[in-house]
Amino acid sequence: MNNLTKVLIALLFLIIAAGIILAGINYCSFDDYRDNVYAEQEVTVWGDEPLNAFVSESENYEDHFVFTYIPRDTNATFDCYMTYEFKQDGNTLESVDKKLYERVTASDPIMLEFSREEGSEYELNITIEDADGVILHKSGMTIYPQTHGNESEM
């Protein structure tokens, strides 16, 4: 091996080692930051998307939730029916059976918004079907009450 090859190999090892060290620092710092500064919230999501036609997104705010269902194909337009049940602490707050949403697109997706209260557990189960009853999307989500990483027992 000539000197140039040895220098390039040494430089490659230094870059890899620096990347590993930085990744470890960022990982540790993030965990310490999350555990000691901000409240954590546990969310469990399940889904069974036979046609994989929609992508679901959720936004979690202090006083409300926003759930968005976006067609995976950015060129698609759907007329579809949504059935959903939204629960707070096991009690149904809102239940809808086969509500029609017309001309759903990536730029005009289905959006659901619900209020929230501190300390409550929430559950949302949804099914989106086409006019023939073919399931385009089926999923559910449980959002558990927030826990605070900086609380301690006395």
pLDDT in tens, 10-65: 656 556 655 565 555 444 444 443 443 333 444 444 455 456 799 989 898 889 99
pTM of the full structure: 0.63
Can you name the residues that pair with 57 across neighbouring β-strands?
A: 68
Spatial separation of the C-alpha atoms in residues 26 and 21, rounded to whole Å: 9
pLDDT above 90 covers a percentage of the chain that reads: 50
For residue 34, give both structure tokens.
């999350």
Residue 147 has pLDDT above 70, yes or no: no
Residue 9 has pLDDT above 80, yes or no: no
Spatial separation of the C-alpha atoms in residues 145 and 59, rounded to whole Å: 15
